[in-house]
Amino acid sequence: MLDFKKLTVKKAKELLDKKEIEPKELVSASYDRIEAVDNKIDALNTVLNKEEIDEQIKHIKGGSLFGIPYSLKDNICTKNIRTTCSSKILYNYRPPFDATVTEKLRNSGAILMGKASMDEFAMGSSNENAAFKKTKNPWDLSRVPGGSSGGPAASVASGEVLFALGSDTGGSIREPAALCGLVGLKPTYGLVSRYGLIAFGSSLDQIGPLTKTVEDSAIVLNEIAGYDQKDSTSAKIDKKDYTKCLTGDIKGKKIAMPKQFFAKDLNEEIKKSIIDAIKKLESLGAIVEEVDVSFVDYVISTYYIISSAEAASNLARYDGVRYGLRAENSNGIVDMFTKTRSEGFGREVKRRIMLGNYVLSSGYYDAYYLKALKARTVIKNEFDEIFKNYDVIVSPTYISTAFHFGEKSASPMEMYLSDIYTVPINIAGLPALSIPCGLDKIGLPIGMQLIGKPFGEEDILNMAYAYEKVRDIGDLIPLVEGVDR
């Protein structure tokens, strides 16, 4: 009997190619799993009904992901299918077009099962800022799945779908991957089209896959990467087959280990797991050396100034006039604008809009926003200097394992500071991958981050693949309470 929750994209492709299963059987197993566990974990804002799924299967003409069920983060547009950003202001928004990645996955034969919950407008690190469903971590339902792509991560980790796409503005793919025991890849800025991704920070956002294995990540990246003329920031580079780089040979590869990322305030269990993983990479022939980075003290402020400024600009369009929520019983157009935005946006989104408008305002633009742009250049240059001598940089993905709901939400600053390992990568536009490298003392996953040169996805994928082959951390399939145990 097919154990769907343990299936990978690669294994499913092999079974389909050998005609040992049919796409309908695979999709049916996914649908049954969603019905069994989603009322426990609340991963999906919208689940397509069987008629909609059958319609997809009927129109598929093959493809490299033929029949593979997946979910999309609810900020990636799907034509005539609800796309809410987990916000009241877009509660029933149905886009008139598909995002480029949605179209590419449909052309590859993949089957969309549902739209996954997220922190509202992707602003958060725990999925607690969602307006509708606050997704639970499949490893422990009392804990957060990470954010903002908490729903996509939980839908894969719980075995509802075989892969998901999330978006990453400051760690929003990698952090939930770390907390849910998955591989999460944030590609180089410009490698994957952002057309149809509802914007948070336009110079930082990037779409990427959440999968159970490194090979699955490479398989999905093959389908979604590539130039798109509808995205002005899309990079014109040659198409690659990322599965071909997975040789497992990392002998002679040089790894930089920033001392500041392993400072005394890092959780000891996480530190030990990553050091042990680094030793395994050394045993495979990689060369590991410590380096200094100077940007640690100002990277968080740089990120939150730039991202909030871009968010304030991007979210200005939600005014109750063109689409989305419109407040009732308003007294004139200005009152309607005010009430619509007050009722439609949650606390965290309002906080970042206010911060963004502040740093862009007259008298403060030079003091904050312009200075942050200069700091961004310094951060990028520092990464460039490291990559003159090293192939990959290694660091923790997150400062802790999955924490309880409410544990950090009372302190926004504490939550912001926890992004210290992930936001520098978005600031510099680099690729980075989180891979499970251990479990803490209560059995929760720990993530290690591998950072690559611009368009150096092959290096980090192969290094992660090599490590995946030799790690020894047991089964990474969580048992959902009330269903699997």
pLDDT digits (tens, 9 = 90+) for 136-152: 999 999 999 999 999 99
Domains of the chain from N-terminus onward = 7-485 (3.90.1300.10)
**Residue 126 is a catalytic residue:** no
- If DSSP codes are grouped into helix, strand and coil, which group holds residue 420? coil
State the chain's mean pLDDT as an integer.
95
DSSP bridge partners of 163: 70
Q: In this structure, how many other beta carbons lie within 10 angstroms of the beta carbon of residue 293? A: 19
Neighbours of 142 (CB within 10 A): 11
**Mean pLDDT, rounded, for 48-53:** 92
- d(C-alpha 198, C-alpha 148), whole Å: 13
Q: Is the pTM of this model over 0.75?
A: yes
**Stretch among 117-126, 182-191, 335-344 having the lowest mean pLDDT:** 335-344
Mean predicted confidence (pLDDT) in 418-424: 96
Share above pLDDT 90 across residues of the chain, in percent, rounded to a whole number: 86
Catalytic residue among 73, 104, 115, 212: 73
CB 23 within 8 A of CB 57: yes
pLDDT at residue 330 is higher than 90: no
Known catalytic residue at 149: no
Cα(445)–Cα(84) distance, integer angstroms:
29
What pLDDT is stored for residue 146 in this prediction? 96
- The active-site residue, picked from 172, 193, 395, 434, is 172
What gap in Å lies between CA 86 and CA 68, rounded to an integer? 25
Decide if 345 contacts 87 (C-beta within 8 A): yes
Q: Which residues have CB under 8 Å from 429's CB, separation 6+? A: 188, 189, 190, 380, 454
Residue 313 identity (one-letter amino acid): S
How many CB atoms neighbour CB 300 within 10 A? 19
- The phi, psi pair for 127, rounded to 5°, reads 75, 10
Amino acid at 128: E
Give the type of residue at 32. D
| DSSP reduced 3-state for 258 | strand
For residue 172, indicate whether it is catalytic.
yes
Q: Is the pLDDT of residue 61 over 80?
A: no
Which of 117, 126, 148, 158 is flagged as catalytic? Answer: 148
Whole-number pLDDT of residue 1? 65
Over residues 279-317, the pLDDT tens digits come to: 999 999 999 999 999 999 999 999 999 999 999 999 999
